[in-house]
Chains A and B, each alone.
Chain A
Amino acid sequence: MVEKVVFLYCACACAVSAGMMISRSNLLHGVLWMLTFFIHVAGIFLLLNAEFIAALQIMVYAGAILVLYLFLIMLLDVQGLAAQRQSHGSAPVASLFAGVMGALMLVVLTRADFGGSHGVVTAAAVAKSGNVQVVARELFTTYLLPFEVASLILLVAMVGAILLAKKRL
């Protein structure tokens, strides 16, 4: 019962801050709404028994990606640009289509029966050894190669970002 109430709070906060985030014309306000969004998503991860992912969400999204956006907004003179018109002429049509898509997804997904075959990692097994350990075992055995490829992606992104943002190549 308590979990459901907290989940509903987090869900409402997520939806509201997401809406505020894309509708603010001041980018700094938008980024601060993005912070509340990320924190509430981390709360939802906690409620879904994914403690490690929740910590990662705070560290990577709220800690790294958000600061990157803040840096960029303060680096470029975007406050002057905020005076311009913010959305396209076709914005109403685009939002209508996106809204229809969202409504369709809601109708279909909330009525679906998600049976499927269950895995072996039950909640009791996770409670015994801890979420981090269970995720790590999966990550370093079954998904070892994708894990290494992910580190390669990060390396390429780092080199690419330095190269692109440099003044003279």
Chain B
Amino acid sequence: MTASAPADVPAGVGEPAPAAAASRLRPAGVRAGRGRAGSARRTRRTRPADLLGLAPFAAYVAVFLGAPAYAVITAAFKDDSGNATLANVTTTLKDPYRHAFFVSIELSVLSAVLGAVLGLALAIAVSGAKRDGFVHRAVTTASGVLAYFGGLPLAFVFLATLGPQGLVTKWLNSAGYNLTQHGFVLWNMAGLVLVYLYFQIPLMLLVIFPALDGLRPQWEEAARSLGASRWQYWLRVGGPLLAPPFLGALLLLFANAFAAYATAYALSTGSVPLVPIQIGSVMSGNVLAGQENIGNALGLWMIVVVGLVVVAYTLLQRRTARWLR
């Protein structure tokens, strides 16, 4: 019975007696980083047997992710006949590929940051609704579905709305406001960011909800009772607690936009140079033939870029998460 109780029950249950009083003082969910029990736990070494617990995951990933990734990386260093060469890798460091990387990164950063901020705002707005209530569940499930709504259908949906003959374009025209005259089109950076938000915001929502759930309402009430304003609560308590998962979600959104392909292709067909589109042209096109290894080299560079961002994120995380540990 006690085993399945929710986490709101004070954390002191079952702990050794000396630490019980100390941990009951802290709100449930915040680990007793500096308490006696915490440090006692910290000094225990990782037993090699513990690593076995990761074995299924490691094996699965090694086979189903490692093998294809290895195939891609080795192919990047081969030419058509299979001989080792650096030519593909060096070619992809120059224009037009280099320019495409900058544009891809720009689009990914813009859509990730906007998506993260707007997604968080929406998540907070919706989290006020009752847990497990209809609104909450409807928004969560709709987000799940929309997070993967991309490619040609999404492009078409936006063309039907904001394209030259789109529904909203026509509404605005009849109200006297001409979109194209004001420089708005769907196939430049601004337009693509707007379209990308359609799946970035739901993804952010879905990923940040569990973290928001971890913010106990008691903490906000406690802060209030101590005289903090809503703003101060977010600045001092909610914000720092949310920072690690927020950054993680930001990284996810960046990688998501970075690798997205079909939507941008359908809308801009290469007039906005993006790396995935270039990969598609070499690996799955009708014009260039026998150049798939350039595609693999581009894939290799994409892995490098995301790898760098992950490293930066890790370093950043160590600082922000210090408060929690």
A binds B: no
